[in-house]
Amino acid sequence: MDDAPLASLSLTHVHYNPADRVSYLCAWLALVPQGLCVIYATLIWSNREIEIMLMFVGQMGCEALNWCLKRLIKEERPREMHGKGYGMPSSHAQFVTFFSVTLALFLLFRHVPHPTETHTPFSFFQRFVLSVLALLSAAAVAASRIYLNYHTSKQVLVGCLAGAVCAVVWFGFTTYLRRAGWVEWVLETELARLFRVRDLVIQEDLVDSGWARWVERRQKRQPSFQVQTKKAR
């Protein structure tokens, strides 16, 4: 009996022109959504922040909408395309647009970091710059889909529009959940307490998370450390 033919797991399988450096860069940009999922999982596991969990839920909802839209519209990809499935709208463009717009809305309208003795948070201007960089990065990923002939310009633009609309709607919904007290109610449940879910990132930078306690412990163990810290300032 002949062996069964092997199949390819095409999760990270990207076609590009090896003689074109831009094409090579675009191939790496195509892996950004997978990388963001790893970042989501890492932050949720390590920080247990409900804000990140809410963002991830919205991200998955945006992906589900893309799956439905593709099978509803049923528009084919470009003729030069090497991939499979329908092309309208671009899932890559929709994914990164949702992420970047949601991140920008959070940094500009919800994140109000408080300075501490050990950390000076980003100013509004710095957060604005980070938001612009996030949006430009999303635009680069979206453009890479056109360059690699995986999508038409229209498919990418519709994907960006769908991602942006999802981001704005989800941000508004989560704002309502916060103002209505639903987020606070979830945090008081036994399940949230069991998994140590918290809500600090609204007023505290992720960089500062735990840092103040670490510095305080070092100062207690090493009296000279406090003097060195003051001199460094």
Question: Per-residue pLDDT tens for 44-93?
Answer: 998 889 999 999 999 999 999 999 999 998 888 887 765 567 778 999 99
Task: Let me know if residue 216 belongs to a domain.
Answer: no
Q: CB-based burial of residue 41 (10 Å sphere; 0-12 exposed, 13-18 middle, 19+ buried)? A: exposed
Residue 175 to residue 188: CA distance in whole angstroms: 18
In a domain, 5, yes or no: no
Half-sphere exposure at residue 207, Cβ-oriented, CA atoms within 13 angstroms: 9
Tell me how many domains the chain contains. Answer: 1
Amino acid in position 102 = T
In a domain, residue 233? The reply is: no
The answer as to whether 215 is a domain residue is no
Residues whose CB is less than 8 angstroms from the CB of residue 142 and which lie 6 or more positions away in sequence, other chains included = 90, 92, 93, 96, 97, 156, 159, 160
Q: Is residue 158 part of a domain?
A: yes
Q: What pLDDT, on the 0 to 100 scale, is given for residue 55?
A: 94
Q: Which residues contact 101 (CB under 8 A, 6 or more apart)?
A: 135, 138, 163, 164, 167, 168
Q: If you search the block for the tokens 């940009």, which residue do you land on?
A: 29
Place of tokens 């963002």: 55
CB 170, CB 107: distance < 8 Å:
no
Q: How far apart are CA 33 and CA 80, in angstroms?
A: 23
- For residue 122, the model assigns a pLDDT of 78
Residue 193 CA to residue 4 CA, distance in Å, equals 49
pTM of the model: 0.82
Closest by alpha carbon to 45, among 34, 35, 56?
56
Q: Is 219 within a domain?
A: no
SS3 85: coil
State how far the Cα of 50 lies from the Cα of 52, in Å rounded to an integer: 5
Domain ranges, residue 49: 15-205
Cβ of 209: how many Cβ atoms within 10 Å?
16
Residue 162 lies in a domain: yes
Considering the domain boundaries, does residue 169 fall inside one? Answer: yes
User: What pLDDT score does 15 carry?
Assistant: 80
Q: From first to last of its 233 residues, what are the pLDDT tens digits of the chain?
A: 566 676 655 666 778 778 888 888 888 888 999 999 999 999 899 888 999 999 999 999 999 999 999 999 888 888 776 556 777 899 999 999 999 999 999 999 988 877 766 667 778 888 899 999 999 999 999 999 888 888 888 999 999 999 999 999 999 999 999 999 999 998 889 998 898 888 888 877 766 666 666 777 777 777 655 555 555 55
| Number of Cβ atoms within 10 Å of the Cβ of 187 | 13
